């Protein structure tokens, strides 16, 4: 039986997407996640999955960072980005980050079916009128995506929380670990990103946001990063 993963934090849209996929692939077994953390667990538990439908905006995701992280962790799993954003440049960036397709959330069933079948057949799919050429990323963005891809799942979660403005003690509480463990993760994150502080790490990770403008710097803390 063909397994399809769906990652979206909005229950109503996740249900709509599930119904759409079932119309196109009635024999498929669908597995769902509502955050990047739960998606990583889901993908790890279902290595035979043939496709992932990924929303770019959900807990733990910052622009294309989740796509880069998932593609590195599960390189054999094709990913179709499903998003309310419909800018051609954004779609081409998604392909540049390793997505096999991009489906706007406004798409009808026929379009979704065309996209699913194309990607399952090993093709790259973008909506009609959006050229698949010119998907090369800005060199700095590409380099940062590769660095984010080197993070372990826990390091990625810590970076996402730092990007959301959480302090070490808050991150420790959320992850149920000690502050010393969080500091150790931050040290590794800074090394892998090539950053000298948590502020610089957030600014560097901001190159992967959908707008490419970065996010607000986090509060300073008396620790390396």
Residue with the bigger pLDDT between 188 and 165: it is: 188
Whether the pLDDT of residue 136 is over 80: the answer is no
Task: Return the residue matching tokens 């892998």.
Answer: 192
> What is the CATH classification number for the domain harbouring 160?
1.10.10.10
Q: Are residues 34 and 78 in the same domain?
A: yes
Q: Are residues 115 and 152 in the same domain?
A: no
Residue 62: band (very low, low, confident or very high) from pLDDT cuts 50, 70, 90? confident
Residue with the bigger pLDDT between 59 and 150: it is: 150
Total number of domains in the chain: 2
Please compute the mean of the pLDDT values over residues 62-75 and round it to a whole number.
90
Averaged pLDDT score across all residues of the chain: 89
Is residue 185 included in any domain, yes or no? Answer: yes
Range of the domain at 20: 2-121
51-54 β-sheet, strand order: 29-33, 3-7, 51-54, 79-83, 101-104
Is residue 127 included in any domain, yes or no? Answer: no
Predicted structure pTM score: 0.83
The C-alpha atoms of residue 24 and residue 2 are separated, in whole angstroms, by 12
Q: Are residues 43 and 102 in the same domain?
A: yes
Residue 225: band (very low, low, confident or very high) from pLDDT cuts 50, 70, 90? very low
CA proximity to 130, closest of 99, 190, 87, 160: 87
Whether the pLDDT of residue 128 is over 70: the answer is yes
Residues of the chain with pLDDT > 90, as a percent, come to: 68
> What is the CATH classification number for the domain harbouring 106?
3.40.50.2300
When mean pLDDT is compared across 104-118, 143-157, 171-185, 203-217, the lowest value belongs to 203-217
Taking each helix axis from N to C end, the angle separating 139-149 and 198-205, rounded to the nearest 10 degrees, works out to: 120
Q: Which residues on adjacent β-strands are paired with residue 83?
A: 104
Whether the pLDDT of residue 216 is over 60: the answer is no
């Amino acid at each position: 039986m063909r397994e399809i993963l769906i990652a979206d934090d909005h229950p109503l849209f996740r249900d709509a997407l599930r119904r759409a996929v079932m119309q196109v692939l009635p024999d498929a077994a669908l597995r769902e996640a509502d955050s990047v953390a739960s998606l990583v667990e889901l993908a790890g538990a279902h290595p035979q999955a043939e496709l992932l439908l990924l929303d770019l905006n959900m807990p733990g995701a910052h622009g294309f960072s989740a796509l880069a992280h998932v593609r590195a962790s599960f390189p054999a799993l094709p990913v179709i980005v499903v998003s309310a954003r419909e800018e051609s440049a954004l779609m081409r960036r998604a392909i540049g980050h390793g997505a096999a397709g991009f489906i706007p959330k406004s798409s009808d069933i026929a379009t979704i079916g065309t996209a699913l079948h194309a990607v399952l057949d090993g093709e790259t799919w973008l909506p009609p009128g959006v050229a698949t050429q010119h998907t090369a990323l800005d060199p700095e963005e590409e380099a940062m995506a590769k660095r984010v891809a080197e993070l372990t799942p826990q390091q990625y979660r810590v970076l996402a929380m730092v990007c959301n403005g959480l302090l070490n003690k808050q991150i420790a509480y959320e992850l149920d670990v000690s502050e010393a463990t969080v500091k150790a993760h931050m040290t590794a994150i800074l090394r892998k990103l090539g950053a000298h502080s948590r502020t610089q790490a957030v600014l560097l990770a901001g190159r992967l946001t959908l707008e490419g403008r970065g996010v607000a710097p986090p509060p300073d803390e008396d620790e390396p990063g």
